[in-house]
Amino acid sequence: MTNRLGNGQVSTMMRNDKYITKCPNCGEKVKWTYTDRGTKVAIDLTLVAIQQNIKGGAAIITPDGKLVIGSLAMAGAKDSIQGYTSHASTCRNRRRV
Ligand SMILES: [Zn+2]
């Protein structure tokens, strides 16, 4: 495959290989990704919006790997950030390993 970025470098985006698998606990489809701190996390496939605040009960991983804690918001809401919900917080059959 030809790389047409023009700078001779292969995009590092490819390095952050996300792949889809099934959650071993609930069978839901999840995608594995890494936070910017290198932690491997399972995320849900649906993009959600969140308003950042410390009291929020939701955690999302933004597309660039930042973990954001806050409250779920309407898509496009003021000051909302889009990202993917950590599957650990939505898994309906969560258990300790
Ligand atoms: Zn699950």
Residue 33 forms part of a structural domain: yes
Interval 75-96: pLDDT, tens? 888 899 999 998 988 899 876 5
Give me the domain span that covers residue 68: 12-90
Residue ranges with strand state E in the chain: 19-22, 29-34, 40-52, 58-61, 67-73, 80-86
Phi, psi of 63 (to 5 degrees): -60, -25
Instruction: Look at residue 8 and tell me whether its pLDDT is greater than 90.
Output: no
State in Å: Cα 9 to ligand 1 middle. Answer: 37
Residue 46 forms part of a structural domain: yes
State in Å: Cα 30 to ligand 1 middle. Answer: 8
Residue 97 forms part of a structural domain: no
> How many folded domains does the chain comprise?
1
Residue 79 forms part of a structural domain: yes
Interval 33-83: pLDDT, tens? 889 999 888 999 989 999 999 998 888 999 889 999 999 998 888 899 999
Residue 31's pLDDT is 92
State in Å: Cα 85 to ligand 1 middle. Answer: 12
pTM of the shown model:
0.68
Name every residue whose Cβ is closer than 8 Å to that of residue 32 and which is 6 or more positions away in sequence: 18, 19, 21, 40, 41, 42, 43
Residue 71's pLDDT is 93
State in Å: Cα 3 to ligand 1 middle. Answer: 37
Residue 25 forms part of a structural domain: yes
